[in-house]
A and B are shown apart, each in its own frame.
Chain A
Amino acid sequence: SQQGEEDPQALSIQEGENATMNCSYKTSINNLQWYRQNSGRGLVHLILIRSNEREKHSGRLRVTLDTSKKSSSLLITASRAADTASYFCATSGSARQLTFGSGTQLTVLP
């Protein structure tokens, strides 16, 4: 079963705007990861944040983690048309496998 929910389910923005996606999860975690999936393709790892971290940056990506609320957010700044994809959060806990959220479909309009 899915670990939790992501919102929004779909997001449409103009190129250059920022995109924010949120993820909630249910159980304790070691880390939380964000992946991108282009249509018909596999998942690409974007960024990982450990349970003892609160914020992390990588290029145009900013991830926050609030373990007290069991939630995370992914911010993509200065979006580009090439950012159009589905974005998934995934948690890693005591088990080795990842538990994914339901995803956010981001569309960036040129």
Chain B
Amino acid sequence: GAGVSQSPRYKVAKRGQDVALRCDPISGHVSLFWYQQALGQGPEFLTYFQNEAQLDKSGLPSDRFFAERPEGSVSTLKIQRTQQEDSAVYLCASSLAIVKDNEQFFGPGTRLTVL
């Protein structure tokens, strides 16, 4: 079946603009994760959903970042009043269930550039 999809693939925003990034997880996957990957670095955790519940948002860098998954499927990561330091690739991942062996399936990412 289809993998994790993300849109848009590329987004250019002017500083101060709001952006919304979408993630479509694999159908039936309970868990959904957002990560931020700066250039040349490994991904860093932002937030985690189990179904529609946001169980961990400890990685969100500021209150300008907001994520939701209202029906337990598609998720949106919103960044308000974007800053240049928000430029990064935003990766979404999903996994089937809360299991000990936590294999996550990643989408292609959205590359955000803030000018």
Which residues of A are in contact with B by a Cβ distance under 8 Å? 1-2, 30-31, 33, 35, 40-45, 48, 50, 88, 90, 92, 95-103
Contacts and interface: CB of A to CB of B under 8 A. Distances in A.
B103 A33 contact: yes
A101 B106 CA distance: 16
A90 B105 CA distance: 13
Given A41-B108, A42-B107, A31 B42 contact: no
Given A43-B91, A97-B59, A103 B41 contact: yes
Contact of A96 (B35, B55, B111): B55
Contact of A97 (B4, B56, B105, B109): B56
Contacts of A48: 101, 103
B102 A96 contact: yes
A44 B101 CA distance: 16
A84 to B, nearest CB: 16
A92 B95 CA distance: 13
Nearest to A98: B104
Given A42-B109, A43-B91, A97-B48, A2 B98 contact: no
Contacts of A99: 45
A44 B106 contact: yes
Nearest to A45: B103
Contacts of B91: 42-43
Given A43-B91, A44-B106, A98-B102, A103 B48 contact: no
Contact of A100 (B40, B44, B111): B44
Interface string B42-77: 111100101000011001000000000000000000
B71 to A, nearest CB: 20
Nearest to B95: A96
Nearest to A1: B44
A42 B33 CA distance: 13
Q: Give me the 3 closest cross-chain CB pairs, A-B, nearest first.
A: A100-B42, A42-B106, A97-B45
